Structure 1
Amino acid sequence: MALVLLPGLSNLIDDISEEKKLPPQVVEAALREALLKGYERYRRTMYLGISEDPFDEEYFSNFDVGLDLEEEGYRVLASKIIVEEVESEDHQIALQEVMQVADDAQEGDTVVLDVTPEKEDFGRMAAATTKQVLAQKLRDQQRRMIQEEFADLEDPVLTARVIRFERQSVIMAVSSGLGRPEVEAELPRRDQLPNDNYRANATFKVFLKEVSEVPRRGPQLFVSRSNAGLVVYLFENEVPEIQEGSVRIVAVAREANPPSRSVGPRTKVAVDSIEREVDPVGACIGARGSRIQQVVNELRGEKIDVIRWSQDPGQYIANSLSPARVEMVRLVDPVGQHAHVLVPPDQLSLAIGREGQNVRLAARLTGWKLDIKNSTEYDQSAEDAVVAELISQREQEEALQMEAEERLAAEQAARAEEDARLRELYPLPEDDEDYVEGDQLGESEQTEATASEEMPGEEPTSEEPAPEDDGEVAR
């Protein structure tokens, strides 16, 4: 078959490469695959209305498309195996036919043949299929490159621009770097901030939450404004001491979307200093609050408490309840990380916070279960009795859990031992084929010897039925 001409093929590939921001070789691969799908459609349409489609899913796996950029055209090629008798003309070719052009051809060799149909025979349906597949493959390649590009980003915080709204999500345009094309990212409702005004073309700092594969949509970027990583990034960019390493952020607890509208978003950040002469809290706040104010402005007025981390759990817990003043912290159950925090009556509501937000964030930040108690009404003996009962219940639950795990492990070990014993007594064929064959042979010889003893002086004949035991062994 002759080359099917595609005038302007090289320019077409270059234009698509420029428009889609894809390498030319990627566009060529997509075009070859699209033309091959078009050829499959051309072959299938030959059976429409006549008989059932005879092609299965892997039928065209030996076909390929070759592009000729110099002559601007393409060919459909088929790899066929040389055989004596042809059963499938699309996959095989007769040895006698090949030897007419190649005397050294041998059965089992593979030859590549040109099976390109005439351009006028290709058909409108096949051409439409080619166009659709090409567009889909280019979209898939774009998404795949986006996934690889953003998955390897060292800096997970991006500048995003609002472009449209879909249901409750905000669709934003983001770029992975200077000079790179913008791509779409989704900001779901749960990752938005209540104080943000998402108007068209408004820009925000967003945290790249994940790059995941969405069914029927391919790779999709999901960004967040509520992720704690965004707070860490903003502090790192505003506080030089964090960049230098003299101050470090130990933990962050954030409630960007409180359960009630009457409570605003709030964050607690625990910081520590590597150098004694550096005040970590003061470094993060800055002169007259200039540094922390930049972070607050970016988060649209979100309240931020910067507290000092301490190796002493009691001191750390007291610091985490800032701005409340704490009288005493009792670590009533260090193993279960349970503490009683004693505060003056006038500090009780402040320590708990509106709808419990302050103590809730402090518990997340420290990892301890915190009970805020009025220091003037605190009965230590009664509270210790209650805590002792709780500790006893926890220990009983842990003991039951451990007992159940040990019982399960013992049952599994017993089953494994029993399985091993049974397989030793009754080996399976896949365990040891030599054993089975040898066993069959030994049993057969033993059967013949027994038959000879029972009938002395008589030679066994071929008409004599085989012993049933031999069949048992074979099974």
Structure 2
Amino acid sequence: MELLTVADAVAREKSIDREQVLEAMEQAIQKAGRSKYGHEHDIRARIDRKTGDIRLMRFMEVVEQVENEATQLTLDQARRMKRDAELGEFLIDELPPIDFGRIAAQTAKQVIVQKVREAERERQYNEYKDRVTEIVNGLVKRVEYGNVTVDLGRAEAILRRDELLPRENFRNGDRVRAYIYDVRKEARGPQIFLSRTHPGFMAKLFAQEVPEIYDGIIEIKAVARDPGSRAKIAVVSHDSSIDPVGACVGMRGSRVQAVVGELQGEKIDIIPWSQDAATFVVNALAPAEVSKVVLDEENNRIEVVVPDDQLSLAIGRRGQNVRLASQLTGWDIDIMTEAEESEKRSEETRTRSQLFIQALDVDDVIAHLLVAEGFTTVEEIAFVDTDELAEIEGFDADVAAELQERAQAWLAVQDEEMTERRKQLGVSDEVAELVDGKLTPTMLVKLGENGVKTLDDLADLAGDELRDIVGKDAVSPDEANEIIMAARAHWFADDGAGTGATA
């Protein structure tokens, strides 16, 4: 009974199952028994779960042909000991209880401690692996080189120095609240990693302070943080009668102030989320006012135009405001003033007008009309529907046809010049003919100037590298990948041929 009392006490202390402790004790007694009677024997121990009595037994398996005399015996041998013995049966010999010597007792203790520790680690891992993304409270147990070990009651966790807020110091015995961002199984036991800088920590703090978030009426769509300094959080309400920003701020700012207090005074901008990317970006740049936005969905970029006096506010100290807005929205944001935007547009208009004057042999009035209608390249004019050109004010069908003819003639001359240049640079015909001529003569010249001359050279590029060389506007990411995969096709063809020859 004393053995069962010890097992109960250990199970309570370590918060593990009593059965696991008793199994560890059985393995310890079993190991001591094998040390006494020989490790080659199949010796097992059993502890009665009600009385605490210990049974030590040797098992012998009945087999047709004996391979190990210490653990097996033939059917004839077995039937001398037990008349009705059958193949596959185990005969059990009761062994006298062990009188534990000092060394045997020490070994048994080590086995029990090891097994109990393994069971405790397994319990900790299983308990905390499903608690990732939760906030936990604990006491600081020790601080080493800025890393804080936190006692969570039933386990220990690590709060690394880079996961602490700036200028934040903890001492032994301090209470700490943190976010579980990872739980890993490692050789030294489960490792629970905490953070106070993770965006999820702020989201969970708001969920604790704002009942509408906890109930799912208000949803946190995104969080961006500059830990200890400033943060932006985007929220949306699924109930039109509830203002998501007002609910998160609370009466006289009580809710948001509770979160700010926990985060050591980190300033928090609460932003209304919008499905419309442009509106969301404008909201995210608050408190700056925005005059105009231009989306480039293909490159995931957005140009934001602000009044001259709002530029520093939009960018923020050391670029903090625009950086957090970019993280929050997932868009690359370029900010410019109205004056800069006007100058940029004027320069673009001037450049395009000059191109049309030169390529189409027209005067500035016609060139400006084409630019005003949104034409940016000679290719667009060459291959657009003539009816669209004819609809421009002052144009008719004859003018449209003439413009198209001149555009196509200019492109043909350009292609001939570029083809000649491509050949001079040594770019192979195989590259030029790839993917039904998707690489234009101009693109091929750019490749040649960058040392890409053969299929192998092209195949070695990544999609982004190809777009950087020929121009991001020239090919989309999907087209770039298609071109590179077509260039690599001969590698697989060669592999197939090689495999066939070997076979």
Amino acid across the alignment from 1:341: V
Match of 1:194 in 2: 166
Partner-residue secondary structure (3-state), 1:100: helix
Match of 1:316 in 2: 280
From 288, 294, 297, give the equivalent of 2:258.
Answer: 294
Match of 1:266 in 2: 230
Match of 1:164 in 2: 142
CA contact (8 A) 1:9 1:69 kept: no
Over residues 376-422 of structure 1, what are the superposed CA-to-partner deviations in whole Å (9 max), with x where a residue is unaligned?
A: 22233347989999796235483343333356578658867997x89
State the 1:115 CA deviation: 6.7
State the 1:84 CA deviation: 6.3
Partner-residue secondary structure (3-state), 1:126: helix
State the 1:227 CA deviation: 1.6
1:22 aligns with 2:16: yes
CA contact (8 A) 1:352 1:372 kept: yes
Partner-residue secondary structure (3-state), 1:165: strand
State the 1:239 CA deviation: 2.0
Over residues 452-471 of structure 1, what are the superposed CA-to-partner deviations in whole Å (9 max), with x where a residue is unaligned?
A: xxxxxxxxxxxxxxxxxxxx
Deviates more, 1:294-303 or 1:271-280: 271-280
1:145 aligns with 2:145: no
CA contact (8 A) 1:186 1:221 kept: yes
Match of 2:331 in 1: 368
CA contact (8 A) 2:179 2:200 kept: yes
Pair 1:328–1:14, CA change in 2 (3 A): same
Q: Distance in 2 between matches of 1:364 and 1:233?
A: 19
Partner-residue secondary structure (3-state), 1:10: helix
Q: Distance in 1 between matches of 2:348 and 2:177?
A: 47
1:238 aligns with 2:202: no
1:173 aligns with 2:253: no
Pair 1:79–1:43, CA change in 2 (3 A): closer
From 63, 73, 83, give the equivalent of 1:93.
Answer: 73
Q: Distance in 1 between matches of 2:234 and 2:183?
A: 29
Q: Distance in 2 between matches of 1:411 and 1:111?
A: 62
Match of 1:461 in 2: none
Q: Distance in 2 between matches of 1:40 and 1:402?
A: 67
Describe how 1:271-290 pairs up with structure 2 within 5 A: 271-290=235-254
Pair 1:155–1:95, CA change in 2 (3 A): same
Q: Which runs of 5+ in 2 are unaligned?
A: 353-375, 378-466
From 471, 491, 495, give the equivalent of 1:393.
Answer: 471
CA contact (8 A) 1:42 1:123 kept: no
Partner-residue secondary structure (3-state), 2:294: strand
Q: Distance in 1 between matches of 2:204 and 2:79?
A: 71
CA contact (8 A) 2:143 2:170 kept: no
Match of 1:103 in 2: 83
Q: Distance in 2 between matches of 1:165 and 1:76?
A: 48
Amino acid across the alignment from 1:236: A
Describe how 1:1-16 pairs up with structure 2 within 5 A: 8-16=2-10
Partner-residue secondary structure (3-state), 1:119: coil
Match of 1:119 in 2: 98
State the 1:144 CA deviation: 0.8
Pair 1:116–1:226, CA change in 2 (3 A): farther
Partner-residue secondary structure (3-state), 2:168: coil
- Provide the TM-score with structure 1 as the length reference: 0.72
RMSD between aligned residues: 3.3
Percent identical pairs in the alignment equals: 36
Q: Distance in 1 between matches of 2:34 and 2:291?
A: 80
CA contact (8 A) 2:298 2:476 kept: no
State the 1:356 CA deviation: 1.8
Pair 1:192–1:111, CA change in 2 (3 A): same
Q: Distance in 2 between matches of 1:159 and 1:117?
A: 52
Amino acid across the alignment from 1:338: R
1:212 aligns with 2:184: yes
Over residues 125-178 of structure 1, what are the superposed CA-to-partner deviations in whole Å (9 max), with x where a residue is unaligned?
A: 33322211211111111111111122234971111221212333211122xxxx
Match of 1:247 in 2: 218
CA contact (8 A) 2:3 2:52 kept: yes
Partner-residue secondary structure (3-state), 2:191: strand
State the 1:71 CA deviation: 5.4
Higher relative contact order (CA 8 A, sep 6+): 1
Pair 1:100–1:196, CA change in 2 (3 A): same
CA contact (8 A) 1:195 1:301 kept: no
From 290, 297, 313, give the equivalent of 1:350.
Answer: 313
CA contact (8 A) 2:56 2:97 kept: no
Match of 1:330 in 2: 294
Deviates more, 1:65-74 or 1:282-291: 65-74
1:339 aligns with 2:326: no
Partner-residue secondary structure (3-state), 2:69: coil
Q: Distance in 1 between matches of 2:255 and 2:290?
A: 27
Amino acid across the alignment from 2:303: H
Q: Distance in 2 between matches of 1:132 and 1:417?
A: 62
Match of 2:45 in 1: 65
Q: How many residues align?
A: 386
From 327, 337, 340, give the equivalent of 1:377.
Answer: 340
Match of 2:54 in 1: 74
Q: Distance in 1 between matches of 2:35 and 2:316?
A: 68
State the 1:314 CA deviation: 1.5
CA contact (8 A) 2:132 2:181 kept: no
Match of 1:177 in 2: none
